[in-house]
Each structure stands twice: as structure tokens, then as C-alpha cells.
Amino acid sequence: MEAMEKSAPLRAILDTEVSAFNRDGAVLLKSILDESWITLLRDGLEYAHDHPDGMSAGVSMPLRIDQFPASHSSELKTLMDKSPIAEIVGTVLRSPVRFYMDQMFYKPAGMIAPSAWHQDTCYYNVEGHELVRAWVCADPVPRDVSLEVLRGSHLWNVTYRPPVGLDPASDPQGAAELEAAFEEGKTLIGQEAHERWTYFDSFMDPSLPQLPNIEACRDSFDILGWDDYEPGDVILFHGHAVHSARGGVNLPHPRRSHASLWAGADVRYMRRRSQAIPDPYALYDYSPEDGQPLGDFPEVFPLAWSPPQR
């Protein structure tokens, strides 16, 4: 299948930027989306914010985290389908890419809530190295509310326990039921979750190691952050990278971000005990097997961008 028609990035991506992504697991690409995409992003985030659905939740208010906002905001859908974001991700990955899902992190003006340290891998029923987040924000982002990434953590051979979900220590019976369902081959989060979902419906898989307390000993880690994010910039970070966003300071303006997850050719379906985010709605019409490439479901994960043929 041909990839969808897209508009081009404002500038070429430098080899040094690709190397930085591969080395650090994240890179800030300055001034790469034009003004029209920034307007669409801002309008789409405001629409999603004003039209909450069964996936509008978040761990704590007033931070709103929505899953799949492009499924009901036409502006965000256009951003995913037509903007240069897919090309930017594919160019850095040097791979064809498919759209997997998107999220909104809406932080109103005032005291900005932090986003906790976590790794995205444990949240989704996918596995592979070519898994990339594209993070864009409708507002300028100073260093003290910046996205942060543990440099190089995308190459650590570990999947950490999610910081959310049912804790077997406090509900052993509930945990045993979830374990049994998983052993029977069930997906722990079903299609109905798209109607009503929270971060606490999942399972805090005790077989996964716990993240270190990074905030408590920040000096022990090599933390990558940015002090000059402006709308029109794109931050790419690897799906396995340990990341967070700083907060706890007052801002006179909101910090409204959108993060989309893109999959390259090596990404496969893999049921996880720690799955915290539902599969894309249309995938529930299929019975994916562990190890099946996402390309086996082109109606759910259409090809978004492919490298040009030479």
C-alpha cells in the first residue's frame, strides 16, 4: 500500500541529529514544523480538552492525559495523517513507519504538574526497537517544565514495571485473577476500555523490576532536557527510553503537549501483563498473535511514510 500524501518538513534532518537520536535515545529538532501545523495542534488540543471521552483521565488533576485524542479531534487526525511528523520519524529511523497511537498531556496555566519517570514500553502490547515517540507542544517549554530523558536508556536491556495499576501487594486475589487470565491467553485490557478507562485498571506486574527513584538522586543520572523548546520544534524519543517531564513551578501559560507513537518495520504485537493502555480500537476485530508484525494489520496500522525509492 502507498503511504498517504504528506506535507514536507520545513528543513532537512541533519546526520548529526540522527546520530544524536541513536546515541542518546532522544533529540530536539528545532524549527521543523510550519505555523499552520502549530495552529492545528493548538486547535486540536483545545477541542480534545473541551470534549473529554472515556479515555480522558490522567493520574492526577488538573493534568489531563487523553488516550487516542486524534480519534475524535479532526485537527489532531489531520496532524497525524498529513503533517510531516511521520516523515520526520521515518527519516530518523531510516525505516517505513506506521502510526500506532497518540496521547494528549494538557497542563493548564498555573502550577504545572510533573509527569512521573517511566518507560513507555511496558504500557503497550508491542515490542521492537523501531518504536519512536514524536512529542510536540503548542506552547514554549522552559527547562523547569521540560521533557527529560535518561540519556542512553533506550539501549538498556530492561522493561520496568509501570508506576500505575493494581498492586498485587494490596489486592492479591485481584492480581491472581489477572495472572490467570493472562496465562489463558487473554488481553488484560479489552475493547470496552475505550468507553471507560483509567490508569489504575492495569496490573503492576511484580515480575518486572521497579524503576529507581530518579528524582531522589538526580545527580546520579545523566538527564537530558531542553531549555529552548518552541512550538514548531519536535522532540523525538525512543519508546524504551526512561523519561518524565519536570513540573512544580508556576507558568503564566499552559503547557499543552501531544505525543504520538510510531512503529518501524521491526515492531511486533506482544501481549504484556503490564499493559496499561488499551490496544487501538480497530485491533480488537482481529486476534493478533505474539510476534505478528504490525504490517499484518494494514487496516489498523496503515503505512504512514516510506523512504523514497532511489
Q: Which residues bind ligand AKG (CB under 6 A)?
A: 105, 115, 120, 133, 135, 147, 243, 245, 257, 259
- Least separation in angstroms between residue 112's CB and ligand AKG is 9
What are the backbone angles phi and psi of residue 116, rounded to the nearest 5°? -65, 155
> Least distance to ligand AKG from the beta carbon of 175, Å?
25
What's the CA gap between 147 and 227, in Å, rounded?
Answer: 10
Closest distance of CB 107 from ligand AKG, Å: 7
Using omega within 30 degrees of 0 as the cis cutoff, is the peptide bond preceding 252 cis?
A: no
Task: Tell me the H-state helices in the chain.
Answer: 15-24, 35-50, 74-82, 85-93, 172-183
Nearer to ligand AKG, 104 or 294 (CB): 104
| 286 burial via Cβ count (<10 Å: 0-12, 13-18, 19+) | middle
Closest approach of ligand AKG to the CB of residue 286, in Å: 25
Of 178 and 245, the one with the shorter C-beta distance to ligand AKG is: 245
Neighbouring CB atoms inside 10 A of 303's CB total: 18
User: Which residue lies nearer to ligand AKG by CB, 147 or 294?
Assistant: 147
**Site of grid cell 526512561:** 242
Closer to ligand AKG by CB, 88 or 175: give it: 88
User: Which residues are paired to 233 by β-bridges?
Assistant: 231
Of 91 and 257, the one with the shorter C-beta distance to ligand AKG is: 257
Could you tell me the smallest distance in angstroms from the CB atom of residue 24 to ligand AKG?
16
Q: Give the CA distances from residue 109 to residues 1, 46, 62, 118, 291, in Å, rounded to whole numbers and listed in that order.
A: 43, 13, 10, 24, 43
